[in-house]
Structure formats: C-alpha cells, structure tokens
Amino acid sequence: MHPTLLVHSRQEPARRLLRLMLEGEGLGCRVFADGDSVLEALEGLPVAVVVVDARDPDEEGLLLLGLLWRRFPGAMRLVLHVGGARLHTASGSEECAWETSEVLGPFPALPSAGELAAAVRHLGAQAQLAVLRPAVGQA
C-alpha cells in the first residue's frame, strides 16, 4: 500500500508547480488550496503524507499543521519553509536543508524536484513502516 500524497498551498501557482515537480518524479498527488479540504481528504485514509507550504504569508499552514498533529497524529508531514523543510513522522522530526534551491518568480526558494521527491519518498517509507510495525503499546 502506497501512502496517499496530499499537497497544501494557498497560492495557486505554487500548487501547480509542486504538482508538476512531484508528478515529474513519478509521484501522483492531490493538491488543495485550503486546510479544511485537506482534513476532509484525510478522513478514512489509512496512510498519508501531507506536504504543507508554510512559506505563505498567512497562518493557515501553521493552523493546518496543528490540526493535523491533533486529529491525524499518524500522518507524515513535510513542511516547506524558506531555505528547507521539516520532516515530521510519528516518532519525531528532522530538519532537511536543500542543497539546490530554485527561486521562481515571487516564490521563496523551493527544492529541486529530485530533492522534494526524495523527502516525500522517505516519509512514505516511514509511513509504511509505521503500519507494519506499530509503536509500543499500540499493537
């Protein structure tokens, strides 16, 4: 079972670009402009990876992250921020600095498509491991 990949960004050009980057690397995804739609899409999904664009000027991305943590603690999260990303799994989190960043028009730096896909695949593998090997006390 492959995790479902959901992408959230308030900016339409960023959503389109992230989708193109991920699909170009062979990763299908669903994109969303608002957090409520992401939360609705997560209902009933056994495994999911959510990419949240926290580079947006408003605070919806941060609010979505809080709701994801509370309502879907098993969902793997890749949080894009200026200069890198933070990977969140059920067992912890780690910073991911991009070696190559692309500044595209008004958007702050994005990773290369390969770096973004590698981070998503890493989270997908962690999601599958979590299903196969539940945390202690959850068996």
Residue 136 has pLDDT above 70, yes or no: no
Mean pLDDT (the chain, rounded): 77
Residue 131 has pLDDT above 60, yes or no: yes
CATH number at residue 113: 3.40.50.2300
pLDDT at residue 2 in the model:
63
Asked if the structure places residue 139 within a domain, the reply is no
Asked if the structure places residue 100 within a domain, the reply is yes
Q: What is the pLDDT of residues 71-93, one digit of tens each?
A: 888 788 888 876 677 777 767 77
Sign of the alpha-carbon dihedral angle for 83, 111, 107, 10? negative
Asked if the structure places residue 62 within a domain, the reply is yes
Q: Identify the domain containing residue 87 by its residue range.
A: 4-132
Mean pLDDT, rounded, for 94-119:
64
pLDDT at residue 39 in the model:
93
Return all residues near 39 (Cβ < 8 A) that are at least 6 apart: 64, 67, 68, 71, 72
Q: What is the pLDDT of residues 5-62, one digit of tens each?
A: 889 988 888 888 889 888 888 888 899 999 999 999 988 887 678 888 887 777 888 8
Asked if the structure places residue 81 within a domain, the reply is yes
Asked if the structure places residue 21 within a domain, the reply is yes
Residue 108 has pLDDT above 60, yes or no: no
pLDDT at residue 130 in the model:
65
The count of structural domains within the chain is 1
Backbone φ and ψ for 125, nearest 5 degrees, come out as -65, -40
pLDDT at residue 38 in the model:
92
Asked if the structure places residue 138 within a domain, the reply is no
